[in-house]
Amino acid sequence: MRARLEETGYLVDDGLATACFLALRLHRPIFCEGDAGVGKTALASALAGALDAPLIRLQCHEGIDASQALYDWDFPRQLLHLRAAEATGVKDADRLEGELYDRRFLVSRPLLKALETQPSVLLVDEIDRADDEFEAFLLELLSEFSVTIPELGTLRAEVPPVVVLTSNRTREVHDALKRRCLYHWFDHPGFARELAIVRRRLPAVSARLAEQVTTLVQALRSQDLLKPPGVAETIDWARALDALGANEVDAELAVATLGSVLKYREDTERARGLDLAAVLAARGA
Amino acid sequence: MSGVGGGAGWAESGGRGRTDGWGAWDRRSDERDGRARQTGRHESPSRQTDGRTPPARQAGGREAPNGHAERREPETGRAPAADVRGRCVDVPGREGGTAHGGASPGGPVAAPARPAAGARADAALLGFARALRAAGVDASAERVHAFLRAVDVLRTGVRADVYWAGRLTLCGGRDDLERYERVFAACFGDAAPAGRTVTAPRPPRLRLVAREGPVPRTVARNGERPLPPAAALASSAEVLRHRDVAGLDAAERDQLRRLLAAFALRGEVRRTARRRPARRGEVDPHRTVRELLQRGGEPARLLRHTRADRPRRVVVLVDVSGSMAPYADALLRFAHAAARGSRTEVFTVGTRLTRVTRELSHRDVDLAMAALAAAVPDWRGGTRLGELLREFLDRWGQRGMARGAVVVMLSDGWERGDPELLGAQMRRLHRLAHRVIWANPRKARPGYAPLAAGMAAALPSVDAFVEGHSLAALERLAAVVRGAAPAPVEGADRA
Ligand SMILES: Nc1ncnc2c1ncn2[C@@H]1O[C@H](COP(=O)(O)OP(=O)(O)OP(=O)(O)O)[C@@H](O)[C@H]1O
Ligand SMILES: [Mg+2]
C-alpha cells in the first residue's frame, strides 16, 4: 500500500500507511484533521492514483444539502419530456409520471456517483464547513452505503467506495460521525520527510535549494504565526525561487519572496524580524 | 493541487470505473405514489465489510500496511507475546460484553491461530480501552469493536501496529492523542512506538503586544455610543440607557429593571437544509412537476420554495464573581429576559458552574431572581473562568449545547486561574460555536485595554467583543446576538 501511494508521489509515514490499509480492509472512512496544507486533500487523490480508481470529490460548504451532494432531478429535461409527450397525445398521467422519474432524468451528485462507480475514492472535503443536518445525513449514508430514492428504489454499493473526509477544525465535527471513521491527525512533517516531499514533488529543483527552503519553513513553523505554512507553501516557495533561477537562497532573497509562504502581513513582519541568515547557517546549508 | 482539481476533472473520470450491472435499482413500478416502502433488507455494515476483497488487496496473505508482507522490521521486531499482552489486562468477560461479543462470534478475532493466547490478548486490548476511558478518551463500544478488528487484520503482536490500530480507531480528536500516548505507554511499556511520537500541542498563542495598542480605540470608534447630550430634552429613560449600571442610585436601578424586562434575545437565524414552500425563492421542481401532472400537462405556475430559517440557540454565561458584583443583577435580569426564548440556556460562573435556565424560567422576574439566588452557591467569590468553561464544554457544550450556537460570555475577564487554560478552552468553544460574543462591562471605561490576563487569552477566540455596562450596551449586545455586525475585534485570528 505504502509503495503504491509513494508511486503517485505522495509520501506516507507508518501511521498514514496503517490508516490507508485499515480503510481498505475494514471499509472505514479516514477522517483527516490537521492544519491547512499538510496533505489531507492530496491523500485522497494519491489513494485514487494508487488504486487506479476515479476520485470523486464533494466540497462542503455551509448550507450544503442532499440535492447538491446526493442527487437532483433534471427539471428542464423533465419539462421537455412532458411537452413532447403532450404533443404525441399521451394522456395517461400514471404512465407519464413513471417516465418522468426515470433514471435518465436523475442527476447524480458526488455521493450518488461514488456509490454508482466501482471502485472509487470519495473525498468529502472540509466537512467542518457543512452544518449539523448534513453531518447526520452523511453519517447515515456512510453506515449503509446505500441510498433510497423514493421514485426509483434503493441503490446499494456492493463494494463501498474508499472514503476520505477532511476537516480544518474550524468547527468540531460531531462525534457520532467520527466514531465511524479512522481518525488521523496530520502533523506538519519533520525536516527529513518534508525535504523528501519537496524533492519528490519538484525533482528539477536543486538539492541545495530544496534543503534550504525546508530549513527555513521548519524554522518559521516553530514561530508563533497566525497561519503556519504547510507543505503546500514549502513547495510553492521552492518552485517560486526555482522559477527566479535561484540554485540557493540567502536571507535577502528569502525575505523578498516571503509572500509565497506567509499569508498574513503580521506573519511576514514577524519573519522579517528573524535572523534568517543564522537559521540557514545553523543547518550548515 | 496536482490532480485533485475542482469540478470538471473528476466529473468525467467516472468512466474509468465500472458503473453497470452491479447495483441495480430495485425498482417497484407498482408504487405510483412515489413513496417507497422500507425494504427491510438493510445489511449491517459489518456484514458488508467482511469477506470482500478490496481492490488493492487481491493477493491473499497478510500484507502489512508498509508493504513488506511477512517480514518483520528489525527495529520493531516481532514483539514477544508478553509485550503486547500488556499491563492493563482486563478480567475477560467483565468488560462491557457488547464490545467484545460483537467482534468474536464467527469473526476473525477468534481465529484458530490464536486459541487461549488470543483471548488473553483481547483481554489486554480491552483493558487498554478501559484505561483510555478512565483517562477521558471516549473509547466507546463501537470504537473498541473497530479496534479489535483492526488489530486482527494487522500483524498480531507487533507493537507499532497495535499502537496505530488503537490510535486510529479509539481516538476522536487531537486532544485525545496526548492521553492516548500516556495510556499506551502505561499499558504496553514505554518504548517509543516505531520511531513515531506525537508532538505536543502547540503552546497557546498570546499576541498581547499586537493587541494592546489598538484596542482602546474601538471604544471611541464605536460611533453609536455618543455620550447622551446633557440637554434637558433627553428623557430620563434615554439618559439612563447610557449610564453605567455600576453608578446608579436605588431609584434609577428600579427604572432600569423595568426597562430590562422588555428585552428579547433572539439568536441569529441559520438556513436549514429543509425547504418550505414560499412565494419567492428558487423554483421547486418537484412540486411544479407534480402540479403539471395533476393538470394533465397544462402549463401551470412555477411553484417556489426557500430554505427554512431557524434562530440559533443562544447560550449565556454570566460571571457572578466579586469583580462583577455591580453588574450581576442587571446582567442576570437581562439573561432572564433572554431566557424567555425557548432556545436560550443560561449558566452562572464564578467559582462554580451552575445551570440556571430552569430558575430563570419563572415568568416573574423577581421570583426568578429569588430562585436563582438560592441556586447559585458562589456569589461574589473568585473567578475560575478557564476551569468552569472546561466543565461547561465537557458536560454540556461538546454534547451539543454549544454546537452551532451563539455563545455569549458576560464577564470582565478577571481570571484567578491560569489564563492559558482559559485561552485553550475558548479555542475549543470557538470551534464548536457558531459565534462567540464577549460582553465586558469594563470595556467602556476610558482607556480600557484588555490587560486582564484572562481577557487577553480569550480574545483571539472571540468573534465579537462588546460592552455590557449600560442598557444601551445591552441593546447593542442583543443586536449582535441577532447577527448585526459588531465592531471588528483586533487581533482575533479568524482566517
Ligand atoms: N505527504 C505528502 N507527500 C507529497 N506531497 C504532499 C504531502 N503532503 C502534502 N503534499 C503536498 O502539499 C500540497 C497541499 O496539500 P493539500 O492541499 O492536500 O493540503 P490540505 O491539508 O488539504 O490543506 P487545506 O486544509 O488547505 O485544504 C499538495 O498539493 C501536495 O503536493
Ligand atoms: Mg484540503
Cβ pair B438, B481 in contact under 8 A: no
Is any Cβ of chain B less than 8 angstroms from the Cβ of A192? Answer: no
Could you tell me how many CB contacts below 8 A there are between chain A and chain B?
Answer: 259
Separation in Å, CA A206 to CA A203, A210, A243, A283: 8, 6, 12, 17
- Please name the residue ranges forming H helices in A156-227: 175-179, 191-201, 207-221
Indicate the residue of B23, B32, B65 with minimum beta-carbon distance to A20: B65
CB-CB neighbors (< 8 A) of B308 in chain A: none
pLDDT in tens, A22-54: 999 999 999 999 888 999 999 999 999 999 999
Cβ pair A195, A155 in contact under 8 A: no
Query: Which atom of ligand 1 is the closest one to the Cα of A9?
Result: 4
Is any Cβ of chain A less than 8 angstroms from the Cβ of B32? Answer: yes
Give, using CA atoms, the residue closest to atom 4 of ligand 1: A10
Query: Which atom of ligand 1 is the closest one to the Cα of A16?
Result: 1
Cβ–Cβ gap B173/A75 under 8 Å: no
- The finding on whether B11 has its CB within 6 A of some atom of ligand 1 is no
- The finding on whether A37 has its CB within 6 A of some atom of ligand 1 is yes
Q: What is the pLDDT of residue B26?
A: 41
Q: Which residues are within 5 Å of ligand 2 (an ion), measured at CB? A: A 41
- The finding on whether A41 has its CB within 6 A of some atom of ligand 1 is yes
| pTM recorded for the entire structure | 0.62
Report CA torsion sign: B347, B351, B352, B358. Answer: negative
- Of all ligands present, the nearest one to the C-alpha of A236 is 1
Quick one: B302 and B363 in the same domain? Answer: no
Give, using CA atoms, the residue closest to atom 29 of ligand 1: B1
- Give the distance from CA B70 to its chain's centroid: 42
CA–CA distance, A221 with A210 (Å, rounded to integer): 16
Nearest CA in chain B to A171: B431
Domain presence at residue B467:
yes
**Residue B433's CATH number:** 3.40.50.410
Domain presence at residue B72:
no
Among A162, A142, A148, A144, CA closest to B43: A144
- Write the burial class of residue A217 (CB in 10 Å: 0-12 exposed, 13-18 middle, 19+ buried): buried
Residues 6+ away with beta carbon under 8 Å from A123: A41, A44, A45, A55, A56, A57, A58, A163, A164, A166, B4
Domain presence at residue B478:
yes
Mutate which of A26, A86, A222 to disrupt the B interface (most B C-beta within 10 Å)?
A26
For B321, the grid coordinates are 464573581
Give, using CA atoms, the residue closest to atom 9 of ligand 1: A39
- The finding on whether A46 has its CB within 6 A of some atom of ligand 1 is no
For B427, the grid coordinates are 479555542
The Å distance, Cα A136 to ligand 1 centre, comes to 27
Q: What is the pLDDT of residue B370?
A: 86
**B370 in helix, strand or coil?**
helix
Quick one: B285 and B367 in the same domain? Answer: no
Residues 6+ away with beta carbon under 8 Å from A264: A225, A226, A227
Quick one: B338 and B430 in the same domain? Answer: yes
Quick one: B283 and B340 in the same domain? Answer: no
Mutate which of A6, A10, A22 to disrupt the B interface (most B C-beta within 10 Å)?
A22
- The finding on whether A228 has its CB within 6 A of some atom of ligand 1 is no
Cβ–Cβ gap B142/A143 under 8 Å: no
Among A15, A10, A82, CA closest to A46: A10
CB-CB neighbors (< 8 A) of B207 in chain A: 224
Is any Cβ of chain A less than 8 angstroms from the Cβ of B37? Answer: no
Nearest CA in chain A to B52: A159
**Which A residues in the span 172-191 are in contact with B, Cβ-Cβ below 8 Å?**
172, 174-175, 178-180, 182-185, 187
Indicate the residue of B36, B195, B285 with minimum beta-carbon distance to A150: B36
- The finding on whether A57 has its CB within 6 A of some atom of ligand 1 is no
The Å distance, Cα A42 to ligand 1 centre, comes to 5
Nearest CA in chain B to A236: B1
Report CA torsion sign: A32, A38, A44, A47. Answer: negative
Quick one: B365 and B440 in the same domain? Answer: yes
Per the listing, cell 510553492 goes with A236
Is any Cβ of chain B less than 8 angstroms from the Cβ of A3? Answer: yes
**Which A residues in the span 214-233 are in contact with B, Cβ-Cβ below 8 Å?**
224, 226-227
Cβ pair B439, B478 in contact under 8 A: no
Quick one: B281 and B320 in the same domain? Answer: no
- Of all ligands present, the nearest one to the C-alpha of A235 is 1
For A70, the grid coordinates are 446526493
Quick one: B156 and B295 in the same domain? Answer: no
For B155, the grid coordinates are 500483524
**A158 in helix, strand or coil?**
coil
| Distance of residue B493 Cα from the nearest chain A Cα, in angstroms | 7
CA–CA distance, A164 with B458 (Å, rounded to integer): 33
Write down which residue in B156, B172, B188 finishes a domain: B188
CA–CA distance, B265 with B360 (Å, rounded to integer): 14
Nearest CA in chain A to B18: A118
- The finding on whether B1 has its CB within 6 A of some atom of ligand 1 is yes
Among A54, A64, A63, A57, CA closest to A40: A57
Q: What is the pLDDT of residue A81?
A: 85
CA–CA distance, B217 with B491 (Å, rounded to integer): 13
**B307 in helix, strand or coil?**
strand
> Is residue A103 predicted with pLDDT exceeding 90?
no
Total domains, chain B: 3
Quick one: B306 and B331 in the same domain? Answer: no
More confident residue, A22 or A75: A22
Domain presence at residue B346:
yes
Domain presence at residue B10:
no
Domain presence at residue B347:
yes
- The finding on whether A196 has its CB within 6 A of some atom of ligand 1 is no
Quick one: B337 and B451 in the same domain? Answer: yes
**A73 in helix, strand or coil?**
strand
Write down which residue in B310, B336, B364 finishes a domain: B310
- The finding on whether A237 has its CB within 6 A of some atom of ligand 1 is no
CA angle B424, B425, B431 (to 5 degrees): 95
**Which A residues in the span 114-173 are in contact with B, Cβ-Cβ below 8 Å?**
115-120, 123, 131-134, 137, 143-146, 148-160, 162, 169-172
Q: What DSSP state is assigned to residue B139?
A: -
Quick one: B280 and B323 in the same domain? Answer: no
**Which B residues in the span 103-142 are in contact with A, Cβ-Cβ below 8 Å?**
138, 140, 142
| First-to-last C-alpha distance (Å) of chain A | 34
Which structural domain range is residue B282 located in? 271-310
Among B331, B361, B333, B329, CA closest to B345: B361
Domain presence at residue B443:
yes
Provide DSSP, B372-410: HHHH---TT----HHHHHHHHIIIIIIIIISTT-EEEEE
Write down which residue in B310, B341, B370 finishes a domain: B310
Q: Tally the residues of chain A.
A: 285
Cβ pair B411, B443 in contact under 8 A: no
Cβ pair B327, B441 in contact under 8 A: yes
Question: Which region among A64-78, A89-103, B211-225 has the lowest average model confidence (pLDDT)?
Answer: B211-225
CA–CA distance, A233 with A216 (Å, rounded to integer): 11
Q: What is the pLDDT of residue B491?
A: 40
Q: What is the pLDDT of residue B116?
A: 58
For A133, the grid coordinates are 443536518
- The finding on whether B495 has its CB within 6 A of some atom of ligand 1 is no
Query: Which atom of ligand 1 is the closest one to the Cα of B1?
Result: 29
Cβ pair B68, B111 in contact under 8 A: no
The Å distance, Cα A95 to ligand 2 centre, comes to 46
Instruction: Of A18-22, A168-172, B489-493, give the range with the top mean pLDDT.
Output: A18-22
Amino acid in position B204 = P
Q: What is the pLDDT of residue B236?
A: 57
- Write the burial class of residue B154 (CB in 10 Å: 0-12 exposed, 13-18 middle, 19+ buried): buried
Among B364, A256, B448, A51, CA closest to A43: A51
Residue-level pLDDT, tens digit, chain B, 495 residues? 333 333 222 222 333 333 332 333 443 333 333 333 333 333 333 333 333 333 333 333 344 444 443 333 333 333 333 345 566 765 443 333 333 333 333 333 333 344 456 677 788 899 999 999 988 888 888 899 999 999 999 986 788 999 999 999 999 988 889 889 999 998 887 665 444 444 433 333 322 222 223 333 333 333 333 333 333 333 555 666 667 777 777 777 777 777 776 666 666 766 666 677 777 777 777 777 777 766 665 666 777 777 667 778 899 999 998 888 888 888 998 888 877 766 789 999 988 899 888 888 888 888 888 888 888 888 777 888 999 999 999 888 877 789 889 999 999 888 888 889 999 999 999 999 999 999 998 887 776 777 778 888 999 999 999 988 888 888 888 888 888 776 554 444 333
Among B387, B467, B160, CA closest to A15: B160
More confident residue, A212 or B53: A212
Quick one: B390 and B441 in the same domain? Answer: yes
Q: Does the N-terminal peptide bond of residue A119 adopt cis geometry, omega within 30 degrees of 0?
A: yes
Quick one: B327 and B436 in the same domain? Answer: yes
Among B195, B311, B186, B336, CA closest to B261: B336
| Distance of residue B4 Cα from the nearest chain A Cα, in angstroms | 6
CA–CA distance, B205 with B219 (Å, rounded to integer): 25
Q: What is the pLDDT of residue B22?
A: 30
Among B146, B120, B129, CA closest to B180: B129
Domain presence at residue B18:
no
Is any Cβ of chain B less than 8 angstroms from the Cβ of A15? Answer: yes
Nearest CA in chain B to A99: B29
